[in-house]
Structure 1
Amino acid sequence: MSTTRKNTGLDELKAARRQSRPYYWFVAIFSFFVNLLMLTGPLYMLQVYDRVLGSRSEATLIALSVLVVFLYSMMGILDYVRGRVMGRVAARFQNALDLRVFDAVVRRSAVQPDELAQTGLRDLESIQRLMSSPVLMAGFDIPWTPVFLIAISIFHPWLGLLALTGGAVLVVITVVNQWVTRAPAVKSNMAVMQAEKTAEQIRQEAEMVQALGMRRFAFLRWMQARAASLEGQIKSADLTGTFTTMTKSFRLLLQSAMLGLGAYLVLQNELTPGAMIAGSILTGRALAPIELAIGQWALVERARKGWANLAQLLSEVPPEAERTALPRPKAQLDVQQLTVVPPGEQQAALRLVSFSLAPGQAVGVIGPSGSGKSTLARALTGIWRPAGGKIRLDGASLDQYGPDVLGQHVGYLPQRVTLFDGTIAENIARLSPQPDAEQVVAAAQKADAHEMILKLPQGYDTRVTAAGGRLSGGQMQRIGLARAMYGDPVLLVLDEPNSNLDNEGSEAVNKAIRSFKEQGKSVLIMAHRPAAIRECDLLLMIEGGSRAAFGPKDEVLRKMVQNHQQIQQNAGPGGVR
């Protein structure tokens, strides 16, 4: 990958962050006054010890106390406001990237469901949490640490030197903390994601796990992932806790050392008691942001990893280019020398496959398992891009249509139908928040699923889940066919459309295909069962990823029978069967 492409995703993240640049300046200005007001405590202490106690003036004490209450109130208000501003900056950053990241996750998951696709949304959320957390506010406070150290040095150079040495030690601890905890934190996060993934798989297949008596072994498998996750979390927490405790203890020791050194200087008449107390307080304030950063370092590391992951994801899945709107195509499909290499693999699953399909025709794609039928379906629906050759719909290659536009023209019924949480109407309408009732019913009628849906308790308003709920596999498949037909597509791609259907369901699907053809539209059916190709005019036989035969159905079937008989004759009575 070129450097330019690598930087594409990073540029998108920086652009989203730059949208709130004025607010960062706003928070920086507020941080200036907040840290300036942090001097209130030390100065109050200095005045009380050196002036009030010396003069025994109650009026001075009251005046100073009222002033301190006012200043601390203002500091609290400013601190509260900058926290609210950063919370909204974080929300604005996430809102600016939500659609882009979601789109990238969906597109990558369709072709390569790897770690980047699985964690994309969580990575964005981790950055948002960091931006709204106190640790980022500490980033605005850390530049004030030298100012406080200079203020301590004004009291006495030795106090300044001690505070500077202590600050240097804390910085070293911070660097070591980052270096030591990075690898365990990454390993822990990966183990947690693996445990969550295993649990989700078992939950989704709970019915099968229960029916086959797999609960104990499923629990053991989950526990292995869970144990690795807990081990990683404990190790990461131990390391973080070690550095946090070390930092806290050292800071308290440093404050006491400041008091001790200050007391010695007071005895030597080189420092006043008020300056001694003020120096101790200023030391704590100067080092507080560093201590906070160390304590929250796990959050920083997670956000840093999320930033890197998102930069890579957005670089590898660039935004969809704007395409010129094309008129509604005719159902003329031309596949020319199509070669498809599945994502993440080196070997082509389809090689130099060519065929044509005219309006009103249906072609059955047959062949043994693993021959490339589902690969062809994914290529025809635009999920997988061709490595070579072209797929043209009414003369235009598929990449000339935007994904959403192509989905309106090409209906797709995958081999495994999955429904989403919602009503049947919403599922048929492809998750539209306001389904068009007429189009939903029309699609169900085309799929010959209308009567079946009406028999359900709430009809089209029956709620289903991702697992289907009360629906059988056959009912889900017919609803999936209605979803494929929603929006009046010109081409249907059906992958094993009757794999879960009984005879009545198969007849309903064949009736729907026949009706679709009569409207001048085209159908491709990937099939194993003979009933699925009853309405097909043409047959395409694929073997080993290549076209073995293509032509009228009866002619191709006759050749298949002849080839089978020839093989048996060549084998002879004692041949291999």
Structure 2
Amino acid sequence: MTFSRLSSVPPRHELRSVLNSGLSCLGLAFFFSVFANLLMLTGPLFMLQVYDRVLSSRSEETLVALFMLVAMLYGLMAGLDFARGRIVARFGARFQSCLDKRVFDATLRQSIHPRVRASTATASRDLESIQTLCASPVLLAIMDIPWTPLFIAAIFVFHPTLGWLAVAGGASLILVALLNQKLTRRKLANAQSAGARANMLSEYARQASEIICAQGMKEQVSDRWSQQRADALGQSIRASDWTGSFSAMTKSLRMLLQSAMLAVGAFLVLQNEMSPGAMIAGSILLGRALAPVEQGISQWAIVERARSAWRSLDGFLNAVPPEPEHTNLPRPKAHLAVNGLAVVPPGSSAPTLRGATFEISAGDALGVVGKSGSGKSSLAKALLNLWSPVSGEIRLGGATLDQYDPDALGRYVGYLPQHVTLFQGSISENIARLDQNPDAEKVIEAAKKANAHDLILSFPNGYDTRIDGLDDQLSGGQRQRIALARALYCDPVLLILDEPNSALDAEGTEAVNTAVRELKVAGKMVIIMTHRPQAIAECNLLAVMEKAQITRFGSRDEVLNASVQNAGVIRHTFAKAGNQ
């Protein structure tokens, strides 16, 4: 019961392929269902024998023998039910396990693209909904429904009138099931959608808790969330009312049919057309025939939720195809060439970067300066291969970025974002990029390159200090210096710094400048996106961006002389920073 790999599966058929690879599990469960349902005849046949043979013959030995046989058969049936329940539960777990990493990877890659952000937020929950269906009793009820005609056919053996009554009862329940599906599908979907909106607002509020409290927005946000939550609860109650009404109707109808079966059977016994044992057995068989239908209706919300999740997850995975396999390229040389690069953000039609062309080599530090919205962030995301160019190309060590495996590229290109995110774990694990067995020597070396070694040793437990990525136990500058060590952990050939001085004091700024200086000496490349003069103190090259274009590129002093009136003051700032 193993699942095939998905790397060669066309994206459009991923869910179907995983399902098909586990059909042997479902086939085995259905095989057990054959015998489990045949053993369901034990009760009716036992009642038939007791009424027609034991009571008429008054044989205690026959009663004991029949009961021992029935006990053995019920024990076997319990074992089969237990076995098929375990099989379908493990099928659901393996289905989720096979797709968990795929969904998680797709969520990470696509979370920066607004056009599928809603699907991203629910993809994991969709997968869990499908797994819940596989582990729920309703799947076994669906496997039992095909045996309903067999039990009804057995009732015909007792008497045709009872058989036709069973057919009429089964048809009534099927009609109720169809009405249930038709009338509750939209209501269940609306309830799920309303609940998702409320949960999304709650998550946004959690992430922005500081600004909400600081700006006096708590009451307004709380009121809005309460309105959405009340709407979700109302939708859920309405859907539950409809589902509950059909469930109650089904249960009452089934009990009425069993009573009707007894009444008609008793009439036929009085007419000497059948035996009392057949009357009781027919009633039990009818209850067993209609039980899976009743169970399916009562748990229809699980089925509907799984169907909706299947469609949503299938669309999400189609929109985010698996990463293609890449040939492992050697470590690139320190040479970056950008030629005619144009970038359009996902979900937009207007380019935020046009015609960018420049080249840097080993030992170069390039400062990219410009106003907000000039295209600096677009250039950074393109250099990190987060956004694909619509025209032009980026070559690192002679190969375009898309030729590298994304994980390998992450080791060759270090990145320090403006807004630093650390994760739950030790400082050592964060620097080692959450490696469960971090290389202590490489961790310390990266921290020293980032001039964060002494800072880390000042913490109570040094490198083993546990941090929570969501709290504020570290200052912004401390977090940024730890993140710089993380960017340097794999000894990248290119380091990209996005506003590295935004949260640093004078000591932190000097630490970053020292790190840039040492990287240049080591033959690495550095690109700094900034608007602060202190950040480009160690840059030998400068690019000025205006209106999504690089308007000037060249040596730092030449570009400053040509574009900045107070270039002398800025150079004095550089000299002062270098002497500190």
TM-score above 0.5, yes or no: yes
Cα distance in 2 between the residues matched to 1:339 and 1:499: 27
Select which of 31, 34, 49 maps to 1:32. Answer: 34
Quote the offset at 1:333 in angstroms: 0.8
Matched, 1:174 2:177: yes
Conservation of the 8 A alpha-carbon contact between 1:418 and 1:468: no
Show the counterpart of 1:479.
482
Conservation of the 8 A alpha-carbon contact between 1:419 and 1:468: no
Cα distance in 1 between the residues matched to 2:277 and 2:11: 54
Matches within 5 A, 1:532-543: 532-543=535-546
Select which of 99, 102, 125 maps to 1:100. Answer: 102
Conservation of the 8 A alpha-carbon contact between 1:127 and 1:307: yes
Show the counterpart of 1:575.
none
Show the counterpart of 2:85.
83
Cα distance in 2 between the residues matched to 1:177 and 1:509: 65
Quote the offset at 1:514 in angstroms: 1.1
Show the counterpart of 2:456.
453
Show the counterpart of 1:571.
none
Select which of 358, 379, 383 maps to 2:382. Answer: 379
Quote the offset at 1:489 in angstroms: 0.3
For these two proteins, the number of residue pairs brought into alignment is 558
Show the counterpart of 2:5.
none
Quote the offset at 1:69 in angstroms: 1.0
Cα distance in 1 between the residues matched to 2:113 and 2:432: 24
Conservation of the 8 A alpha-carbon contact between 1:338 and 1:390: yes
Select which of 313, 321, 324 maps to 2:316. Answer: 313
> AA paired with 2:162?
L
Conservation of the 8 A alpha-carbon contact between 1:13 and 1:311: yes
> AA paired with 2:346?
P
Cα distance in 1 between the residues matched to 2:457 and 2:565: 47
Show the counterpart of 2:408.
405
> AA paired with 1:249?
S
Cα distance in 2 between the residues matched to 1:206 and 1:190: 24
> AA paired with 1:412?
Y
Residues 1-33 of structure 1, C-alpha deviations (whole Å, 9 max, x = no match): xxxxxx944522222223333322221221111
Cα distance in 1 between the residues matched to 2:301 and 2:197: 19
Conservation of the 8 A alpha-carbon contact between 1:413 and 1:481: yes
Q: How many percent of aligned residue pairs carry the same amino acid?
A: 56
Residues 212-268 of structure 1, C-alpha deviations (whole Å, 9 max, x = no match): 443323322321222222122212211211211111111111111111221222222
Select which of 188, 202, 208 maps to 1:185. Answer: 188
Conservation of the 8 A alpha-carbon contact between 1:365 and 1:542: yes
Select which of 242, 245, 261 maps to 1:239. Answer: 242
Cα distance in 2 between the residues matched to 1:544 and 1:184: 49
Select which of 519, 522, 545 maps to 1:519. Answer: 522
> AA paired with 1:32?
V
- SS of equivalent residue, structure 2 residue 54: helix
> AA paired with 1:64?
L
Quote the offset at 1:483 in angstroms: 0.9
Cα distance in 2 between the residues matched to 1:541 and 1:172: 72
| Unmatched tracts of structure 2, length 5 or more | 1-8, 568-580
Select which of 103, 111, 114 maps to 2:113. Answer: 111
Matched, 1:155 2:169: no
Residues 173-210 of structure 1, C-alpha deviations (whole Å, 9 max, x = no match): 21222222222222222222222222223233334434
CA separation of 1:317/1:514 partners in 2, compared to 1, >3 Å: closer, same or farther?
Answer: same
Cα distance in 1 between the residues matched to 2:462 and 2:189: 49
Per mean C-alpha deviation after superposition, the further-off stretch among 199-208 and 61-70 is 199-208
Cα distance in 2 between the residues matched to 1:9 and 1:126: 21
Residues 87-110 of structure 1, C-alpha deviations (whole Å, 9 max, x = no match): 222222222222222212211114
Conservation of the 8 A alpha-carbon contact between 2:11 and 2:322: no
Cα distance in 1 between the residues matched to 2:362 and 2:471: 34
> AA paired with 2:163?
G
Show the counterpart of 1:195.
198
Conservation of the 8 A alpha-carbon contact between 1:447 and 1:481: yes
Matched, 1:67 2:66: no
Matched, 1:126 2:129: yes
Quote the offset at 1:147 in angstroms: 0.2
> AA paired with 2:432?
A
- SS of equivalent residue, structure 2 residue 45: helix
Cα distance in 2 between the residues matched to 1:89 and 1:126: 14
Conservation of the 8 A alpha-carbon contact between 2:432 and 2:489: yes
Quote the offset at 1:559 in angstroms: 2.5
Show the counterpart of 2:335.
332
Quote the offset at 1:561 in angstroms: 2.9
Quote the offset at 1:81 in angstroms: 1.1
Cα distance in 2 between the residues matched to 1:379 and 1:530: 24
Show the counterpart of 2:577.
none
Cα distance in 1 between the residues matched to 2:375 and 2:172: 63
Matched, 1:545 2:529: no
Residues 474-516 of structure 1, C-alpha deviations (whole Å, 9 max, x = no match): 1111111111111100001111111111111111111111111
Per mean C-alpha deviation after superposition, the further-off stretch among 104-113 and 38-47 is 104-113
Select which of 267, 271, 275 maps to 2:270. Answer: 267
CA root-mean-square deviation:
1.8
- SS of equivalent residue, structure 1 residue 344: coil
Cα distance in 1 between the residues matched to 2:381 and 2:28: 50
Matches within 5 A, 1:350-499: 350-499=353-502
- SS of equivalent residue, structure 1 residue 26: helix
Matched, 1:293 2:301: no
> AA paired with 1:310?
L
Cα distance in 2 between the residues matched to 1:9 and 1:303: 20
- SS of equivalent residue, structure 2 residue 111: helix
Cα distance in 1 between the residues matched to 2:162 and 2:367: 87
Cα distance in 1 between the residues matched to 2:402 and 2:332: 14
| Unmatched tracts of structure 1, length 5 or more | 1-6, 565-577
Cα distance in 2 between the residues matched to 1:528 and 1:181: 57
Residues 301-322 of structure 1, C-alpha deviations (whole Å, 9 max, x = no match): 1211222222222222222222
Cα distance in 2 between the residues matched to 1:52 and 1:221: 71
- SS of equivalent residue, structure 1 residue 199: helix
Show the counterpart of 2:223.
220
Per mean C-alpha deviation after superposition, the further-off stretch among 282-291 and 396-405 is 282-291
TM-score (normalised: structure 1): 0.93
Cα distance in 1 between the residues matched to 2:329 and 2:367: 28
Cα distance in 2 between the residues matched to 1:187 and 1:369: 41
- SS of equivalent residue, structure 2 residue 351: coil
Cα distance in 2 between the residues matched to 1:179 and 1:545: 53
Conservation of the 8 A alpha-carbon contact between 1:372 and 1:542: yes
Quote the offset at 1:563 in angstroms: 12
Quote the offset at 1:468 in angstroms: 4.0
